[in-house]
């Protein structure tokens, strides 16, 4: 069998492209092995036994597929030893949930079967965590069959549900008739070969070859986590324009944060301004207030924007804007009455009731809540200025 028979390109599995997915990929992986187990149960305990080992080994453009069947429960040790040798012989192991299930179970069976071998240090690429990261906004669940349908565009006709495989195996052990296992073998083969197709699809996806509109945000996050900040910024920019709500807004926020973290102040300022104009997002208003106050020394502009932010602020943000307004007014002097929040209520007493640069914010909050502001002030006397504009 060749890689072309599977509909994949051997060139996409080159080391330099695989490195875009994970650092565990060796520099020159000449052999890639795809591995999946069928077991007598879904738990990893000592009572769960792997009865079918599925392997697909790709070398160059050639694919070699094998299945090993445990024909007697008491004859497990030779099969486990052969599996350890197979793992050691490959340059890269690829599984789906293998880090949490297949490999820990295999290590348990080494102990139970009395196999005294060192565990191979083969680089292991588990595709399930990557699928969860890259398609988190599109897939409601990440079973391999769901990924085949939604990401690979494949459909299995008359496929055996995985939960029925153990019963088919028990039928085989009781009767000796291999016919019930035919569907299990087919199911396992489809699982293993789908891993090869999925790995190639992930490589194309990270290389920005035709992502779904709902995938751009998660793709940007993946690239950012890999350390390619410039690439991530470009992906976030694309997500702003082509992703559906609310993913477009989330992408815009992540892009603005990324620009700020890199010290690109002018670009970040433009990004925050665009977000505020388009969505009236409170985080953008806060970021712009900080920029106006601390970088541009425009206290009046910061105060005006903070008031706008307070009017649009959802629950949880009103206190942040109220505190900022109080502090800015303390620096600028008395200015005017309180500002209604988005909930329709006035946040705090009129800020003009405080002497500029005077009492603490804690006292202001205490009075707003109907408490005793003197508790927040300790022994200091609360001084009120005449109300302005009333």
Residue 350, pLDDT > 50, answer no
Structure tokens belonging to residue 170: 């028990």
The fraction of the chain above a pLDDT of 70, given in percent, is 85
Residue 358, pLDDT > 60, answer no
Tens digit of each residue's pLDDT (9 = 90 or more) over 266-286 = 999 999 999 999 999 999 999
User: Phi, psi at residue 346, to the nearest 5°?
Assistant: -75, 130
- Model confidence at 71, in pLDDT bands (50, 70, 90)? very high
Between CA 308 and CA 310 the distance in angstroms is: 5
Give the pLDDT score at 29. Answer: 76
pTM for this one? 0.81
Residue 42, pLDDT > 90, answer no
Give the pLDDT score at 387. Answer: 39
Q: In sequence order, what DSSP letters do the residues of 128-155 get, joined into one string? A: HHHHHHHSTTT-S---HHHHIIIII---
- For domain 3-207, the question of CATH label 3.30.465.10 is answered with no
Domain ranges for the chain: 3-207, 211-278, 280-332
User: Phi, psi at residue 26, to the nearest 5°?
Assistant: -65, 160
Neighbours of 232 (CB within 10 A): 21
Domain 211-278 classification at class level = mainly alpha
Please give the sequence-ordered ranges of beta strands (E in DSSP) within the chain, or none if there are none.
31-39, 50-59, 62-69, 92-95, 124-126
Return the closest-CA partner of residue 251 out of 225, 270, 233.
Answer: 233
- Model confidence at 364, in pLDDT bands (50, 70, 90)? low
Task: Name the DSSP class of 380.
Answer: S
CA 205 to the chain's CA centroid? 15
- Model confidence at 342, in pLDDT bands (50, 70, 90)? low
Give the pLDDT score at 334. Answer: 58
Higher pLDDT, 50 or 2: 50
Residue 166, pLDDT > 60, answer yes
Give the pLDDT score at 337. Answer: 45
Give the pLDDT score at 370. Answer: 56
Give the pLDDT score at 19. Answer: 85
Give the pLDDT score at 365. Answer: 57
* Mean pLDDT to the nearest integer, 341-360: 44
């Amino acid at each position: 069998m060749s890689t072309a028979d599977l509909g994949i390109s051997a060139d996409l599995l080159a080391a330099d492209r695989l490195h875009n997915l994970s650092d565990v990929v060796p520099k020159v992986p000449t052999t890639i092995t795809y591995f999946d187990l069928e077991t007598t149960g879904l738990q990893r305990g000592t009572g769960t036994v792997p009865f079918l080992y599925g392997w697909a080994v790709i070398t160059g453009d050639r694919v070699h597929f094998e299945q090993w069947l445990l024909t007697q429960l008491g004859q497990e040790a030779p099969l486990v030893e052969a599996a350890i040798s197979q793992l050691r012989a490959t340059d890269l192991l690829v599984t789906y949930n293998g880090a949490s299930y297949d490999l820990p179970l295999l290590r348990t069976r080494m102990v139970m079967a009395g196999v005294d071998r060192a565990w191979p240090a083969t680089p292991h690429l588990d595709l399930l965590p990557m699928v969860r990261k890259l398609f988190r906004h599109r897939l409601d669940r990440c079973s391999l069959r769901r990924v085949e349908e939604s990401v690979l565009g494949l459909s299995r006709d008359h496929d055996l549900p995985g939960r029925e495989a153990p019963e088919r195996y028990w039928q085989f052990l009781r009767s000796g008739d291999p016919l019930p296992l035919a569907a299990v073998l087919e199911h396992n083969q489809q699982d293993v070969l789908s891993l090869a197709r999925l790995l190639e699809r992930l490589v194309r996806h990270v290389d920005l070859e035709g992502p779904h509109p709902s995938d751009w945000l998660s793709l940007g996050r993946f690239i950012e986590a890999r350390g390619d900040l410039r690439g991530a910024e470009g992906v976030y920019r694309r997500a702003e324009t082509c992703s559906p709500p609310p993913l477009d807004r989330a992408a815009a926020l992540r892009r603005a944060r990324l620009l700020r973290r890199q010290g690109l102040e002018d670009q970040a300022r433009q990004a925050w301004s665009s977000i505020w104009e388009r969505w009236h997002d409170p985080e953008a208003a806060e970021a712009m207030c900080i920029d106006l106050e601390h970088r541009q020394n425009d206290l009046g502009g910061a105060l005006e924007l903070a008031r706008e932010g307070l009017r649009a602020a959802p629950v949880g943000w009103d206190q942040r804007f109220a505190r900022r307004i109080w502090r800015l007014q303390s620096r600028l002097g008395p200015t005017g009455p309180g500002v209604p929040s988005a909930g329709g209520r006035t946040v705090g007493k009129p800020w003009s009731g405080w002497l500029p640069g005077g009492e603490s914010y804690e006292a202001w909050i205490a009075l707003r809540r109907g408490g005793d502001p003197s508790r927040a002030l300790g022994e200091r006397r609360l001084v009120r200025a005449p109300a302005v504009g009333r």
